[in-house]
A and B are shown apart, each in its own frame.
Chain A
Amino acid sequence: MTGATLQALLSHWWRNPLQLFTLLAGLALATALWSGVQAVNAEARASYDAAAATLGEGQYDRLQRRDGQPMDQSTFVQLRRAGWLVSPVVQGRLDDVRIIGIDPLTAPGGIGPVNLGQGGNISGFFTDTLFANADVAARLPELTVRITPETAPGSAITDIGVAQGLLGKEGQIDSLIILPRQPINRPDLADIAPELTRQQAQGGSDIGRLTDSFHLNLTAFGLLSFAVGIFIVNGAIGLAFEQRRPVVRTLRALGLPLRRLVILMAAELMFFALIAGVVGVALGYIIAALLLPDVAATLRGLYGSDVSGTLQLRPAWWLSGLAVALGGTALAASGALYKLSKMPLLAAAQPRALAMVAGRNAKVQGIAAIFLLMTSGILMITASGLIGGFTLLGALLIGAALALPLILDRILAVTSALAKSVTAQWFWADTRQQLPGLSLALMALLLAMAANVGVSTMVSSFRLTFTDFLDQRLASELYISTETAAQTAALITYATPRVEAILPIQSVDTEIAGQPTQVFGARDNRTYRENWTFLQSSADPWDTTFAGETILINEQLARRADLQVGDTVQLLDAAFTVAGVYGDYGNPIGQALINEPIFLTLYPDVTAQRFGLRLDPAAVPDFVASMEAETGIAASQTINQSGIKAISLQIFERTFTVTTALNILTLAVAGFAILMSLLTLATMRVPQLAPAWAMGMTRAQLGKLELLRAVLLAVLTAVIALPLGLALAWALLAVVNVAAFGWELPMYLFPMDYARLGVFALLAAALAALWPARRLARTPPADLLKVFSNER
């Protein structure tokens, strides 16, 4: 029985290879989309993690001297001998490279490029060896540098003894990492080294925090691509079942038990899913590799030549890709198989009854769509947590997808009522009739476009915010750290006649309204007035602040302490009115800014040891060189602002390349879904088109109208996708990000991007419709005639 049944089931595909192709291709493409996104996502994550590992040692609490000066290394030994498990770090700059010296014997695992505790492969640690990527290695030609791609851009890691020598800091330590697990019976810090102060772990540096946010959003994109994929799989499976409905009925009439039929069809599908899954994963890899030459190039540039190993088919991709293919198929097939098992054996195919069922489905779908959209509307106002944010995204997307056919149906009803000519009336009515068959493909297009609009808005907003933020925080052309009061004095004497302004960077860790806050004392300068942007402010925040009357606070502090412009806060015995709230992306704690004279009155012990200097950017190298000669302040104590910006932007630029590739990928898949649906509908189209042909329309005309119809539906879908995508971006930036990190990313609009995306979508739809339309235009007249001779 099984043999005969399988023969009957499988022979269908043999006789209808196009259907088999669409099924397999649909499944494979959905899998490819998923695994492609995973591949890209994994690459992005890996590179961010590498950056965070070296740029963001902030995962551990640290000890530093209160005055910010380096400590003597005997302090380290004293602490160790007292039972404090601390590990020394020294850092500084050498030829614009950040040199980080660590002690691998005492450092916690996960710091630096190697893990000693687990006997990791550090056999390459040789005398005087530094670890850095190829870029950095090229900048340090006279040193022995071992190329390790996972070291952050612009940094080199080495043993603390080597670093001390290179940086001229013999016997000095900048900070001590406090290991998370400390022995019992440990004395108080104040009893051993009262000059040290404990800095809380930041959970990552500023850049680390920003990238965490980006990770989350990439994950959201991954989920979106999954949703698009599931839609396509569902469509492919649904069509496969629809096409074989008569055969299924015959098989059952001939005595094939339902249970066996269901099992065999499920097994058949799982077999196809497996094949398509394997093809899809491979395809995803190829697509990722082909579409991401920029990514690979960037990775190579950043990480050196050893990049070939990074884009490999990892077992996790295979597994997750196959899981998507099999799971998606199972999900889609379970519904189809359930319908099949409930299908009456006798073909009571009364068209009216079918119409009634379709009407009822539309009603259910409409109610579900309204419910989901209302839910997302409520969540937009109320959602606070991460789960709420993701629920909002889910409800919004599924609701919109379900609503799409209904909205299009209403639009087409109106247009067909408005149509004047007979041809136009027929066209609109016929388009409306096509809607059910195309709705799944159109939903996929909607989701793909919305995802693209949402993600590119999110990414571009992110980039703008980030560069603005860098401009604001790194406005000075040169930053200098001094080591002694004498150096500070020498710097001021030397620099004052030579630069436009000297901006001391001085801060104190305190609390405002119960929140840990770093308070800065700022010197009145155009740097602040020109570069800082406020989320909320009074009329003239800088005037009043530099007059000593007001305070400016960051968004984190405003949110956590529920402070608004006009509220009053207390610092020691002084009260300040909040004059502005500024964005402080990535900072986990509160921050506030007051006028320098007031700051010095309130905190007389604090002396500035970091300075921002405003001068002609072109004059920076000469300035540094002559300063070193005249004051003894080493070049390693200076930071050239453009260098930092370049490093930071380099890291981020990669992600933007990635998202562009993803945009193309999702659109291509949505285009394929349209092609698939049109091809499937093509055979059903002949009887519908025959009357129009008989009444005098040429086949070429009919073909053109078919093409026009696809483009028209795509336009309508695109129009609906735009606001959906913007809502999506808003939810990602304003809800999910706030829930996850406590700060809101401002949203910017990019009309040109959207227009380009719209054109791509139309192109995809037109390309997809081209072949079916041509086939239709070439239908032999005999086939059209058959419709009349052979009706039912």
Chain B
Amino acid sequence: MLLNVQDIHKTYATADGPFEVLRGIDLALDAGETLALTGESGSGKSTLLHLIGGLDTPDQGQIILKGTDIAALDDTGRADLRRGTVGVVFQQFNLIPSLKVADNIAFQARLAGQHDPAWTAILADRMGLTPQLGKYPEQLSGGQQQRVAIARTLAPKPRLVLADEPTGNLDEGTAATVMDLMLELVTETGAGLLMVTHSEALAARMQRRLHLRAGQVA
């Protein structure tokens, strides 16, 4: 099993006092499997994604990724995890504005020490970004930017891809194209895919789906 999440709890401090976002979530995912995480705003789906991606730590529970409990890792351990094993596609793209597209695509692979120029070139080509490689992110459209972000995530060949509303900032047509490309490439690399979305159409394209309500699996 690629990912096994057990009894995850997470509470945030807010101005109105503590708020328990996640109240005992269980979840499992195999390599090559795709899973949609749906739910209303505030249901905790993004928080769960961040915990699995090692961007934050749970208050309670286990997140076993490839046999390692990432909830128990320290900051450096979680950074190592983010660099190579897990890739995150953000709604806001989070590209590095001062780097050209080519450098942005290669960036994470270089961080992970797994830069494969041939594979990066394939990704750029498949994403239709080859003409844009010499440009800066601000010179691209939103859809192009998100394709750069996806290519960047896939460049080090992560075992698990996490996507947080990856098409949330894109119009419908662009969103569909981007989604197709992402699914295609994830399937080719054999990685697992966990995607947060509130689009029924997108969720339907995943093999499985998990609906959260008020921090629990509905």
A–B direct touch, CB within 8 Å, in complex?
yes
Q: A256-B79, A258-B75, A346-B56 are in contact. Are A11 and B99 (CB under 8 A)?
A: yes
B113 at interface by CB-CB < 8 Å: yes
Inter-chain contact A259/B82, CB cutoff 8 Å:
no
15 A-B pairs with CB atoms under 8 Å apart are A4-B111, A5-B111, A7-B99, A8-B98, A11-B98, A15-B97, A15-B136, A16-B98, A247-B96, A247-B97, A254-B107, A254-B152, A256-B79, A258-B76, A346-B50
Which one, B15, B76, B99, contacts A257 given CB within 8 A? B76
Most buried by B among A250, A258, A346: A250
What residues of chain B lie closer than 8 Å to A4, measured between beta carbons?
106-107, 110-111
* Cα(A789)–Cα(B79), bound, Å: 36
Nearest B-chain residue to A12, judged by Cβ: B98
Q: Which residues of B contact A257 (CB under 8 A)?
A: 75-76, 79-80
Q: Which residue of A249, A252, A353, A356 contacts B79 across the interface (Cβ within 8 Å)?
A: A252
- Pick the residue among B55, B81, B99, B110 that contacts A1 (CB under 8 A): B110
Judge whether A255 and B82 touch: CB under 8 Å: yes
Q: For chain B residues 51-100, which have a beta carbon within 8 Å of chain A?
A: 55-56, 75-76, 79-84, 88, 90, 94-99
* Residues of chain B contacted by A252 (CB below 8 angstroms): 79
Contact digits for B110-143, partner A, Cβ 8 Å, 1 yes 0 no: 1111000000000000000000000010000000
**Distance A3 CA – B99 CA, assembled complex (angstroms):** 13
Tell whether A253 is near chain B: CB-to-CB under 8 Å: yes
Determine how close the nearest CB of chain B comes to the CB of A637; give it in whole angstroms: 81
A526 interfacial by beta-carbon distance below 8 Å: no
A338 within 8 Å of B (CB atoms) = no
The distance from the CB of B158 to the nearest CB of chain A, in whole angstroms, is 10
Chain A residues positioned under 8 Å from B106 (CB to CB)? 4
Q: How far is the CA of A252 from the CA of B94 in the complex (A)?
A: 11
Is B108's CB within 8 Å of the partner chain A?
Answer: yes
Query: Chain B residues near A346 (CB, 8 Å)?
Result: 50, 55-56
Give the residues in chain B near A11, CB-CB below 8 Å: 96, 98-99, 103
A14 within 8 A of B: yes
Contact with B along A349-371 (1 / 0, CB 8 A): 00011001000000000000000
A-B pairs, top 9 by smallest CB distance, nearest first, are: A255-B83, A255-B82, A4-B110, A11-B98, A15-B98, A257-B79, A12-B98, A250-B94, A257-B76
Per the bound structure, the CA–CA distance linking A15 and B97 in Å amounts to 9
**CB-CB under 8 A for A14 and B94, given A1-B111, A3-B110, A4-B111:** no
| Residues in B whose Cβ lies below 8 Å from that of A352 | 15
CA distance A283 to B138 in the complex (A): 37
- Digitize A1-44: 1 where CB-to-B-CB distance is under 8 Å, 0 elsewhere: 10111011001101110000000000000000000000000000
**Contact in complex: A8, B90 (CB < 8 Å):** no
CA distance A187 to B131 in the complex (A): 102
CB <8 Å contact, A253 and B98: no
Cβ contacts under 8 Å, B152 to chain A? 254
Inter-chain pairs besides A14-B98, A251-B96, A255-B82, 5 sampled, C-beta below 8 Å: A4-B107, A4-B111, A255-B111, A259-B76, A345-B55
Given the complex, which residues of B lie within 8 Å of A356, measured CB to CB? 15
Interface size on A, residues (CB 8 A): 28
Q: Which residues of A contact B103 (CB under 8 A)?
A: 7, 11
What number of B residues sit within 8 Å (CB to CB) of A?
30
Q: How far is the CB of A649 from chain B (nearest CB, A)?
A: 60
Q: B110–A254 contact, CB under 8 A?
A: no
Chain B interface (Cβ < 8 Å from any Cβ of A): 15, 50, 55-56, 75-76, 79-84, 88, 90, 94-99, 103, 106-108, 110-113, 136, 152
Main secondary structure on B side of the interface with A = helix
B88 touches A253 (CB 8 A): yes
> Looking at the complex, which one of B15, B99, B108 makes contact with A255 (CB distance below 8 Å)?
B108
A554 CB to nearest chain B CB (Å): 68
Chain A residues 201-256 with CB under 8 Å of chain B are 247, 249-256
Grouping DSSP codes into helix (H, G, I), strand (E, B) and loop, the A interface class, with mixed when no group exceeds half, is: helix
Q: Bound state CA distance, A7 and B103, in angstroms?
A: 9
Interchain CA distance A16-B110 in the complex, whole Å = 24
Listed in ascending order, the chain A residues whose CB lies under 8 Å from chain B are 1, 3-5, 7-8, 11-12, 14-16, 247, 249-259, 345-346, 352-353, 356
Bound-state CA distance A257–B75 (Å) is 7
Q: Could you tell me the distance between the alpha carbons of A535 and B110 in the complex, rounded to whole angstroms?
A: 77
Most-contacted residue by chain A among B56, B111, B113, B136 (CB, 10 A):
B111
A3 proximity list for chain B (CB < 8 A): 110
Q: Which residue of B lies closest to A353 (CB)?
A: B15
Docked Cα-Cα span, A14 to B99, in Å, equals: 10
Per the bound structure, the CA–CA distance linking A249 and B95 in Å amounts to 11
In the complex, what residues of A have CB within 8 A of residue B15's CB? Answer: 352-353, 356
User: Is A255 a contact partner of B79 (Cβ separation < 8 A)?
Assistant: yes
How far is it, in angstroms, between the C-alpha of A105 and the C-alpha of B105 when the chains are bound? 82
A345 touching B56 in the complex, CB below 8 Å, given contacts A3-B110, A255-B84, A256-B111: yes
Nearest chain B residue, comparing its CB with the CB of A345? B55
**Which of A15, A251, A255, A353 gathers the greatest number of chain B CB atoms within 10 Å?**
A255
Expressed in whole angstroms, the minimum distance between the Cβ of B160 and any Cβ of chain A is 13
Chain B neighbourhood of A254, CB < 8 A: 82-83, 107-108, 111, 152
A12 to B98 alpha-carbon distance, docked (Å): 5
Identify the closest chain B residue to A257 (Cβ). B79
Q: Which of A251, A253, A258 contacts B55 (CB 8 A)?
A: A253
Q: How far is the CB of B86 from chain A (nearest CB, A)?
A: 8
Given A253-B90, A257-B79, A258-B79, A247-B111 contact (CB < 8 Å): no
Q: How far is the CB of B101 from chain A (nearest CB, A)?
A: 13
Give chain B nearest CB distance to A16 CB in angstroms. 7
List the A side residues contacting B83 at CB < 8 Å.
Answer: 1, 254-256
Find out whether the CB atom of A255 lies under 8 angstroms from the CB atom of B112: yes
A652 CA / B107 CA spacing, docked (Å) = 64
Asked if B90 and A1 sit within 8 Å, CB to CB, the answer is: no
Question: Please, which residues of chain B bring their CB within 8 A of the CB of A256?
Answer: 79, 83, 111
Could you tell me the distance in whole angstroms from the C-beta of A354 to the nearest C-beta in chain B? 12
A253 CB contacts on chain B under 8 angstroms: 55, 82, 88, 90, 94
With A15-B98, A258-B75: A8-B55 Cβ-Cβ less than 8 Å:
no
In the bound complex, how far is the Cα of B79 from the Cα of A252, in angstroms?
7
- Cα distance A246–B167 when bound, in Å? 21
User: Whole-angstrom distance from the CB of B58 to the nearest CB of chain A?
Assistant: 14
In the bound complex, what is the Cα–Cα distance between A16 and B15 (angstroms)? 37
Residue of B nearest to A254 (CB): B108
Tell whether, in the assembled complex, residue B81 and residue A255 are in contact, meaning their CB atoms are under 8 Å apart: yes
Give the residue name and chain of the B residue nearest to A3 (CB). B110
Determine the residue in chain A with the shortest Cβ distance to B104. A8
Complex CA distance for A521 and B208, rounded to whole angstroms: 112
Say yes or no: A247 contacts B98, CB within 8 Å.
yes
Nearest A residue to B15, CB-CB? A352
B212 vs chain A, min Cβ distance (A): 18
How distant is A246 from chain B, measured CB to nearest CB, in Å?
A: 8
From B76, B99, B113, contact of A8 by CB (8 A): B99
The CA of A727 and the CA of B202, in the complex, are separated in Å by: 70
**Minimum C-beta distance from B79 to chain A (A):** 4
Q: How far is the CB of B38 from chain A (nearest CB, A)?
A: 21
Residues of A within 8 A of B56 (CB): 345-346
Chain A residues whose CB sits within 8 angstroms of the CB of B95 once the complex forms: 250
Q: Which residues of A contact B80 (CB under 8 A)?
A: 255, 257
Could you say which residues of chain A place their CB within 8 Å of the CB of B99? 7-8, 11
